[in-house]
Structure 1
Amino acid sequence: MAKHLLATAGQSERPCFDYTNYLSASCKKRWGFIDAIYGVMPIFGIVTKTPQEQTQTRAEQLEALALQVLSTQVNDETNVIRLIALAQQQGIQQFDIRLPYSLNTGQLGFIQQEFGEHLLLDQHDERLSIALPPLSATPRA
């Protein structure tokens, strides 16, 4: 894939994920049986299908995993939740998502409810900034 789906946001070193490019790449992807299972039940992909290359940064690993679990078959909130969960698993605590449109209050509330008060969401137009604590500091219900 010639076009990188991951970029840095402005002058900061925060990863910025272009959600539209992920969905576009997902539409063009040739799906095998295992990929279809991961797409329908992404928890299997999150747990079992990790990139083999140890030289990848956490952000690059997140990019590869996101291509496996983001889907055009689910709503945008679910995809954003999947991306946040993957980032948390990879130890990425702050990143941005560039969306094709701003999320409404209900969509943001749905995402916030999934992670609780420890997740910080800040939306500026089509850019959603996410900050979350390390995985070990996340309270479990």
Structure 2
Amino acid sequence: MRLTVNGKAIQIDAEPEMPLLWALRDLAGILGPKFGCGIAACGACTVLVDGAPVRSCVMPVSQATGDIITIEGIGTPEALHPVQQAWIDEQVSQCGYCQAGQIMTAVALLEANPAPTDEDIDNAFGGNLCRCGTYPRIRAAVKRAAGAPAGA
């Protein structure tokens, strides 16, 4: 099976019904998306497929036919994505387990809506769980990233 992940074509040997999460982690060695629940309820496994946030724990790899972007594909240590920088500036992360999924949800939200309201943010993140309860910081980071210049 051929996938495009973070702008690179990769070849994997996977059963069509294997969840995308396990294809990424176990076969492609891409460890940013995390396993949290296995039923699309927590958001730790969120990746973008053709720009839309999807729960990779329940998406069969055979359905991931578009461009797949994981947390590893949105910035570099030298040039963080504005959402990554906002996460640092707002000190969002506590334990950090859910953060890759939270960040990918924020990236998708800001691509679709560059100036989200509190309600827009709450709606976009309604299914992303954070056991540490950093929701106010997540909202602040999304607003900070929304105000960042492109490419910052």
Return the TM-score normalized by structure 1.
0.32
Instruction: Report which of the two has the higher share of helix.
Output: 1
